[in-house]
Structure 1
Amino acid sequence: MATIRQRNDRWQVIIKRKGYPTQSKTFDLRKDAEKWARQQERSMDAGQWQDRTEAEQTTLKDLLERYSREVSSTKRGAEIEAYRIELFKRSSLAQYALSAITGRLVAGWRDERLKEVSSGTVQRELTLLGHVFAVAIREWCIALHSNPVSLVRKPAPGKARDRVLTAPEREALLGACAECRSPWIKPIVVFALETATRRGEILSLTWANVSMESATALVSGKTGSRKVPLSPACLDALRGLPRSIDGRVFPVTIETLKQAYARAVSRAGIKDFTFHDLRHDALTRLARKGFNILELRAISGHATANMLQRYVSIDAGDLAKKLASA
């Protein structure tokens, strides 16, 4: 039987049972103390009892920090994931104990986040958060009733973007990037426009994986590693770069790049054009130059043609010209 005793203005429960660690908890009301004691004893009788102390004393922020140290650091594109984790740590959700986080709380966070960013961004962030809880439950044995992210509906994917730069916009963007304080911003944008590589792949590229002789670069990211061809414009941009001590071709942080790029786009007077749109623009231009699907997939790293299709804009006017000349 549980022992319930009054201590000052509160009620303390102590449960001692052979084969289980002593359980103790304090409540403001006696009825809450009795209810908790019954729940604990029932779960012990059924052989379903779990020690939830860690879940009650660990906040989501604590869990995210551990995940960042032990899991994220071993992944490709660790810097991108570290950035997302920092965003989570600054949210109100991160202050809750793990045992207090419900599907309703996660859904509330999702709805607020959708007011700030695209549905695709929220999908990726929910996927990360879901994996954080999955690792906590399966590998770290933190006693949670369920993964709260699995109880939440993910937002529908947004419409595929088809934004590409016009020739004047491309010239204006590169000119604005040249005005940035960092000498790496314009070369990064040139590299993205010429190779269709992702931001994380660009920022993790090292000089050891660049071959100026064969005009190729080995990039690594979320889909593994692949070699991409380097155009003459790309090679010229690389030749003019200073060498960094850490061996990276572009030694800048994600946040520095995000802010510098956003300011450059604004100075150039360009509307609605994200850094990721550079990849879309690059693949569309390569397709117009006559690269076939297999060649485009080798460059982009897409697993299927359907995934690649979201990044290539085919203009009906261009097709009409092909028909006329056929």
Structure 2
Amino acid sequence: MATIRARKRTDGSISYTAQIRLFRDGAQVYQESQTFARKQAAQAWVRKRETELDQPGAIERANCQGATVKEMIDRYLAEMEKVRPLGKTKLATLKAISESYLGKLNDQDINSQQLVKYALWRMGKEGGGVQPQTAGNDLAHLGAVLSIARPAWGYEVEPHAMADARKVLKKLGYNMKSRERDRRPTLEELDKLLTHFRGIQARRPTSINMLKMTAFALFSTRRQEEITRILWTDLDEEGRRVLVRDMKNPGQKIGNDVWCHLPPEAWDILQTMPKSLPEIFPYSAESVSTSWTRACKILGIEDLHFHDLRHDGVSRLFEMDWDIPRVASVSGHRDWNSMRRYTHLRGRGNIYANWKWLEKVLQAPVKLGARTLK
């Protein structure tokens, strides 16, 4: 049953409050009201809502307490924290979304139109003027939340909202996919970086040994998070391989443990680390990233990420005429398509065959500082 009541505002204008009340077996099971400036709008809303509420299960869904996007993100972060902390990029992105205007919207309001609007806002001046690929990453991280919000928590999220939004943005001409990087460090850049890191090590021996971290990442092709998780017990001495735990992989990360072979250079570097702690490289991945970024800024090296060392390491193996299965046994890739983005060859041969820094890295002392086993 619906009623529409006219009310006089303090400024003399008239507003119309439409109220819907539904009863079953003499008991009220649902109530909802909205206020409009025009009576025709109130009548149209009543007709629309009564039709919607007449659908099977509609009243139960309407009575279900919803949540804002911010609340859904907070719940997602809390649940994921029980398993393993998220990467800093995904964590920062989700927190930024939760603090934006989108974070205030309710679950039932999230549809393809709202997601398209948010992506366009992010690419606009007010939203930060980001590249389409960055806006695409925002949607991808939010999509991880929305994909479980309905089946796991019962929130009213439109199932195909994200897929439809991406289709629309593609039709509008936006390429939301991440650009494949082809950046590799040059020998000159590595010379500057390692000289810089050696200077820091001389001044502060207990700081992160970025000499070892840099060279090991290059020759092992391991990501910084993977390196800092490796334990001495994860090594297969006879096979010269390492168990990489929770290796990054689309659709699976937690529990995705993969045995990866270590090239001779990486194995030799690893053996120079002290065995006083369970971790071989007992450093924070975030601190490693910070040290790398700060060094590049000081040295004027532009657009070089720590992850580009993995890119360089994989490409190097192909330049040495290693075949795909052999390279994959080091990198951990499961298929050629995902490996292809890391291969940008500069020629043939091993450019690090007589690299002056390898011996310096091997001879560099390591002092772990205050953190020791009791």
TM-score interval for Structure 1 and Structure 2 normalised by the shorter chain:
0.7 to 0.9
- Pick closer, same or farther for the CA change 1:110–1:139 going to 2, 3 Å: same
Report what 1:165 is aligned to.
185
Matches within 5 A, 1:188-207: 188-207=213-232
Query: Of residues 237, 247, 251 in structure 2, which corresponds to 1:221?
Result: 247
Matches within 5 A, 1:110-189: 110-111=119-120, 113=122, 115-116=129-130, 119=133, 122-153=135-166, 155-157=175-177, 160-178=180-198, 179=200, 182-189=207-214
8 Å contact kept, 1:212–1:235: no
Higher-Rg structure is: 2
8 Å contact kept, 1:203–1:251: yes
Following TM superposition, by how much is the alpha carbon of 1:63 offset from its aligned partner in structure 2, in angstroms?
0.4
Query: How many angstroms apart in 1 are the aligned matches of 2:30 and 2:54?
Result: 15
CA offsets 1:137-179 (integer angstroms, 9 cap, x no match) = 2332222344432222263545533222222211222233443
Report what 1:258 is aligned to.
289
Query: Of residues 14, 39, 50 in structure 1, which corresponds to 2:48?
Result: 39
Is 1:301 the equivalent of 2:301?
A: no
Following TM superposition, by how much is the alpha carbon of 1:262 offset from its aligned partner in structure 2, in angstroms?
1.4
Query: Of residues 16, 23, 26 in structure 1, which corresponds to 2:22?
Result: 16
Q: Which one-letter code corresponds to 2:165 in the other structure?
A: V
What TM-score does the superposition give when structure 1 sets the normalisation length?
0.77
Q: Which one-letter code corresponds to 1:166 in the other structure?
A: T
**2:257 alignment partner, SS class:** strand
Query: How many angstroms apart in 1 are the aligned matches of 2:103 and 2:275?
Result: 40
Following TM superposition, by how much is the alpha carbon of 1:257 offset from its aligned partner in structure 2, in angstroms?
3.8
**2:153 alignment partner, SS class:** coil
Deviates further, 207-216 or 301-310: 207-216
Identity %: 25
Q: Which has the higher contact order (CA 8 A, sep 6+)?
A: 1
Query: How many angstroms apart in 1 are the aligned matches of 2:231 and 2:104?
Result: 37
Report what 2:269 is aligned to.
236
Query: Of residues 283, 295, 301 in structure 2, which corresponds to 1:270?
Result: 301
Is 1:281 the equivalent of 2:312?
A: yes
* Equivalent residues, number: 313
Following TM superposition, by how much is the alpha carbon of 1:42 offset from its aligned partner in structure 2, in angstroms?
1.5
8 Å contact kept, 1:205–1:248: yes
Query: How many angstroms apart in 2 are the aligned matches of 1:208 and 1:52?
Result: 54
8 Å contact kept, 1:196–1:283: yes
Q: Which one-letter code corresponds to 2:180 in the other structure?
A: A
Q: Which one-letter code corresponds to 1:280 in the other structure?
A: H
RMSD after superposition? 3.6
- Pick closer, same or farther for the CA change 1:70–1:242 going to 2, 3 Å: same
Report what 2:35 is aligned to.
27
- Pick closer, same or farther for the CA change 1:257–1:152 going to 2, 3 Å: farther
Which segments of 5 or more consecutive residues in structure 1 lack a partner in the other structure? 320-326
**1:221 alignment partner, SS class:** coil
